[in-house]
Amino acid sequence: MREILGRRRRLRFRRKERTARLDAAVTFAVEWNWPVLPGAGLRATTRTATGTGAGLREATRTAMGAAPRAAAGAVCSCPDPDCVVPGAHPYDPGLLAATTDERMVRWWWTRRPDAPVVLATGGRAPCAVSLPAVAGARALAALDAAGMRLGPVVATPTRWSILVAPYGLERLGELLYAKDDVPSSLRFHGEGGYLLLPPSVAGTGQVRWERAPLAGSARPWLPDVEAVVDALVEASTSTPGGGSRLAY
């Protein structure tokens, strides 16, 4: 009886998760006018890394700056066995298919209810700047201390992403050219880029709101990239292991 009840709870929880992804995708696309599309997602596998040799190989990859692999028992559904962003990128359809059309969004997530929600950044959609999680926490603390108003912040176990108002490559280039040094651990999600949104799950774990959009807001407010980039650069360069290594 306990086994049956436990199975029912798991099934209810899974249905709730699937509904949450569809509801979130519709909110982003229809209410906020953010173009979205389903991400590659994860697939189950029977392959598991065991033994001292496997652990040593994974430790060596991480020490060399490689991204952590997907959690045991799941890999990216794309064809690349060494995908550096497992489950967290567009695959089929491609990025150009991102839309705000409610019928298309509902059709996608009805067919693939477990698919992550991917935002196509740039254009009239939000852009973002992401950095390793520890440096991200430092940056948010510094921005809060300075009284800076922030919009939504997306977090995974490895990276935090601050959503900002749309910017162009020329504007971003001028901004970064003025800096003495820009750590390679910073990533800029602008035109032609993408970002995974909550409540998705990727190879690095659950995607959540570190700073959630205000409840009931017609469309989340976003700061300009100039307002936050100094704090992000400073946090990345002053955080051990968070300055020069590119971490996904």
pLDDT in tens, 129-151: 999 999 999 999 999 999 999 99
- Alpha-carbon gap, residue 152 to 32, rounded angstroms: 13
More confident residue, 61 or 125: 125
Confidence bin at 61 (pLDDT 50/70/90)? very low
* Full-model pTM: 0.80
Domain ranges in the chain?
Answer: 13-238
Which single residue is written with the structure tokens 């596998």? 45
Q: Binning pLDDT at 50, 70 and 90, where does residue 100 land?
A: very high
DSSP category for residue 96: G
pLDDT (mean) for 174-203: 90
Q: In this predicted structure, what is the pLDDT of residue 72?
A: 52
Q: How far apart are the first and last CA of the chain?
A: 43
The yes-or-no verdict on residue 239 having pLDDT over 90 is: no
CA–CA distance, 146 with 162 (Å, rounded to integer): 16
- pLDDT value of position 2: 57
